[in-house]
Every structure is written in C-alpha cells, then in structure tokens.
Structure 1
Amino acid sequence: MNHAHPTASTRGLRRSLPLLLASGLALLSACSAPASPAASAAAPASGAAAEPSQPLTLQGRLVLRGNAPHEQPVLQTTSGETWQLQGLSAEQITQWQRQNVEVRGQPGPRPAAGAAPSMAQPQLQVQSIRARP
C-alpha cells in the first residue's frame, strides 16, 4: 500500500472545506432571518403606500367565505387580493353582499410569513362602506 503525501487537489479541498461550510452557514442564517418590516410590507390594493396605522380605502366585491354559522365577509379587490372584513353588522353584510363596494378602514397586523392559507389574508377593521362609484 502506498501512503504517499496527499495530492495537491486533496490538500486544496481540505483547505477550502471550512470556507465552504462557513459560507453555507452564513447563507442559511441569512435565508432564515426574518425580513425587515420595509421588505415585508405589501402595498395596499388601493395602490397608495400606507403605514399599518394609516386607514386604507379599498375597492372590490364583498362576498362571504366559509359555511354557516361561521361565514366571514371578505373583500375581493380589483387587484385580486382578498381582505377579511371586521366590524360589519349582519345588516351591512346582507345589504352589501355580492355588491361592488368601497371600504375604508384600519388594516390589522399582516400575517406572518409562511402562515397557513386560512390565516394569510390581511384584515381590515371597517370604518365605512359604500357603493362603489
């Protein structure tokens, strides 16, 4: 058996292995770190950039999701987003169901990244609702 010195390519691999491991760990930690608030904030459907504390005005169609007695009013916006609507009375839901409306309200906290689809819809605490102009 020949126990000669390692070849140059083997020595190079041994030298670069710690560097490769460190690079891989750095990449892993960067990918798993939470996004900055600026990067994770989505633009509202109205097209205007708004802070979470600023009221939003959204346009779309009010529909009910789910099964009775756990139906949830949602707004399907013209841009394709779906917002859960909070604070509507049963009378308002009945009046505006399947209607094109303009809703103004306070956005709720944004869903966490990777949230289940049922939890991923943004929420809007409705302050006013009217027929879409």
Structure 2
Amino acid sequence: MNPRIDEELDFSHLLTVKTEPILIFRTYIFTVLAKKILITEQQSFLKRNIQVTFPEAYVKVIQQALIFLERDLLQTQMVMAKRNMRVNLSPKIKADRTYTYACWLDGKILYTGGPSNRLKTEVLRYVQFYLNREGEAR
C-alpha cells in the first residue's frame, strides 16, 4: 500500500479503550458482508448471469480480492478471539430500515449499525478496497 495512504488512514491516535472494540467489531461485520458480495458476484459470473468483456481478468480480480479479504478476516477473527469477542451477524432490523448488530465483550453487549444506506455505502467501500488490492504484491 502507498505509504501516504497508510499515514492518511492511521487512526491509532483516535483509539481508546471504548472505541477500539467497536472499530474491530465494525471491521469484522463489513468484511464479512463484503465477502458475501464478492462470493455472490463470483457465483453469478460462473452461472453466466453476468457478461463481461474480459472474463479471465474478471475472475482473477475477484479471486485475488477474496484472498486478501480472507487474510484480513482471519486476522480480525484472531484479534477478536484474543479479546473474547463474539459477534452476532444477524442484525435486528427496525421499521425505519436501521440495522443493529450485537457483540459480547467482557460481559457487556456492544451495539453498532445504522441506516441501511449508510451500511451499504461502507460495505461497498470495503468491496472496492479489496478489488483495488489486486495489483498489490505481498
């Protein structure tokens, strides 16, 4: 990743005992949802529901994105396991299309979520991030 981008995305100065678990929690939820979107996209392509100009490149980009995403997801799950965090991936949906996710940490329940359009925007940012990592060498 570009060092300048790393500096721009460095939020460590904002982390506190209260905000860090929420950030980990939200990262996990968005990563899981991004993975579902990429897998659905890949399955649609394999079923020939999607027509693309360069099928080999399309498959390669999605597969690479899934590899990077899975690696980050495993690291997030390891951090969560060390902290004994358990997440319920089934959100509670309110009438105003607000989604709320729950996480258990040290006997407390943390909640996060928001309006469906805001969550959709965040998840799509994650999808785009992983699709753009295709050219990155590790």
Asked if these proteins are the same fold (TM beyond 0.5), I'd say: no
Higher relative contact order, structure no. (Cα contacts within 8 Å, ≥ 6 residues apart): 2
From the two aligned structures, give the one with the greater helix fraction: 2
Task: State TM-score, norm by structure 2.
Answer: 0.25
From the two aligned structures, give the one with the greater strand fraction: 1
Task: State TM-score, norm by structure 1.
Answer: 0.25
